Amino acid sequence: MLLIDCPHCGPRAELEFSYGHEAHIERPKAPEALSDAEWADYLFLRDNTKGVILERWVHSHGCRRWFNVARDTVTYEILAVYPMGAEPPALERKTYV
């Protein structure tokens, strides 16, 4: 069970949140100009890092607002919580093999 520190409501149990997968993926500005491979990249290909990952969460059973989280996917430690649209904080982007 994760304890997620919602920037608006404070620390709450994982059960109150929904997951939005990888953060900082921008919808292509000119979708009609993309090749099939570029579409596949935007739609399907993800980092799926074993280590520190930047991801989106929404407090769906609370304030219903989205925010970004930096989390270690091995230790499950939440390293930072920061608003949507903000640059990711300077962190060591640790990875494991």
Partner 1 sequence: MQARYSFFSLARNALGYHENWPEAWRSPEPKASYDVVVVGGGGHGLATAYYLAKEHGITNVAVIERGWLGGGNTGRNTTIVRSNYLWDESAALYEHALKLWEGLSQDLNYNVMFSQRGVMNLAHNQHDLRELQRRIHSNRLNGVDSEFLDARGVKEFCPIIDLRQGGRYPVLGASLQRRGGTARHDAVAWGYARGADARGVDIIQNCPVTGFRISNGRIQGVETGRGYIEAKKVAVVTAGHSSVMAGLAGFRLPVHSLPLQALVSEPVKPVIDCVVMSNAVHAYVSQSDKGELVIGAGVDKYVGYGQRGSLPVTEETLAAICELFPIFRRMRMLRQWGGIVDTCPDASPIISKTPVQGLYFNCGWGTGGFKATPGSGWVFAHTVANDNPHPLAAPFALDRFTSGYLIDEHGAAAVAH
CB of 9 to partner 1, least distance (A): 18
Per-residue binder mask for partner 1 (CB under 8 A), 18-47, x = binder: xx-x--------------xx-xxx-xxxxx
Q: Is residue 97 a contact point for partner 1 (CB under 8 A)?
A: yes
Single out the residue of 54, 57, 49 nearest to residue 20, CA to CA. Answer: 57
Distances (CA, A) of 20 to 34, 36, 69: 24, 24, 10
CA angle in degrees (0–180, nearest 5) for 11-14-17: 95
Q: Pick from 28, 64, 91, 96: which binds partner 1 (CB under 8 A)?
A: 96
Which residues in this chain contact partner 1 in the complex, by CB under 8 A?
1-2, 14-15, 18-19, 21, 36-37, 39-41, 43-50, 53, 55, 71, 73-76, 96-97
